[in-house]
Amino acid sequence: MGEKQCLTDRKGKFVFKNVQSGQQSVNMEILPKQIVTTQSKPLELIVEGGKNNSVLVDVTECCTISGDIVSCVYQDTVDLFTGINSQTENLKIVGSSPIRGIECVVSGADEVYSTFSDEKGRFLFSNLRPGIWKVSVLSYGLPDFHYLNYNDLVLDLKSQDHKKVHFKALPVLRPVRPLSK
């Protein structure tokens, strides 16, 4: 609360002394890290002068979202004479490789966090509150002539949920014309 800090006792209670009247904000850092407040931070409250004020802070076990981003390769099905893919509806992915350095964002009711995929194409968001979260992958940094199988996903996280998501960068199908016969 302002510059003041305190720790909870064994029963989870905390006290700030000599607080000014009016609207105050309380930021909470909760240990262990597997616990989060159900309210978004900071907690806003009105302090009435000359009174003991109390506030209930609900906590719950946090959630995580992890995922990966890979670049996919299709089985070659191009007709070399026409330069047109002859089996667009039956394309098969025959390989993939991780994409590093792609920005990933999660956004909740009033919180937004971002990170970048690592050298194995993985990303992780931990210590999230239960609720509705949108996972977005920004397409800049994808290999040339690739697009994402979807740009974002919406997840409904419950307490202790650990959701995994997979994003694929797929090649854009383009006509190929031989340079000479």
124 and 156 within one domain: yes
46 and 77 within one domain: no
Which of 19, 38, 61 lies at the terminal end of a domain, its last residue? Answer: 61
150 and 78 within one domain: yes
135 and 50 within one domain: no
- pLDDT band of residue 42 (cuts 50, 70, 90) is confident
Please name the residue that has the structure tokens 């194409």: 121
pTM score: 0.74
Residue 181 is predicted with a pLDDT of 63
Retrieve residue 69's tokens. 């981003």
139 and 107 within one domain: yes
95 and 155 within one domain: yes
Residue 113 is predicted with a pLDDT of 95
Give the neighbor-by-neighbor strand order of the sheet with 152-157: 112-116, 103-107, 131-137, 152-157
Lowest mean pLDDT among 7-11, 24-28, 79-83, 135-139: 79-83
Q: 160 is in which domain, residue-wise?
A: 63-171
164 and 107 within one domain: yes
Contact assessment for residue 142 and residue 169, using Cβ atoms and an 8 Å cutoff: yes
- Residue 68: which CATH number? 2.60.40.10
115 and 54 within one domain: no
Task: Report long-range pairs for 29-33 (Cβ below 8 Å, ≥24 apart).
Answer: 30/59, 33/62, 33/126, 33/127
Residue spans of beta strands (DSSP E) within the chain: 22-26, 35-37, 43-47, 59-61, 63-74, 93-98, 103-107, 112-116, 122-128, 131-137, 146-148, 152-157, 162-171
Q: What is the largest CA-CA distance in the chain?
A: 92
Q: Average pLDDT of 14-41?
A: 77
Could you report the per-residue pLDDT of 66-120, keeping only the tens digit for each? 999 999 877 765 554 555 554 545 567 777 899 999 999 999 988 999 999 999 9
Contact assessment for residue 34 and residue 16, using Cβ atoms and an 8 Å cutoff: no
35 and 56 within one domain: yes
- pLDDT band of residue 11 (cuts 50, 70, 90) is confident
For the chain, the domain total comes to 2
C-alpha pair distances (Å), 23 with each of 20, 44, 45, 57, 104: 9, 7, 6, 17, 35
Residue 116 is predicted with a pLDDT of 97
162 and 92 within one domain: yes
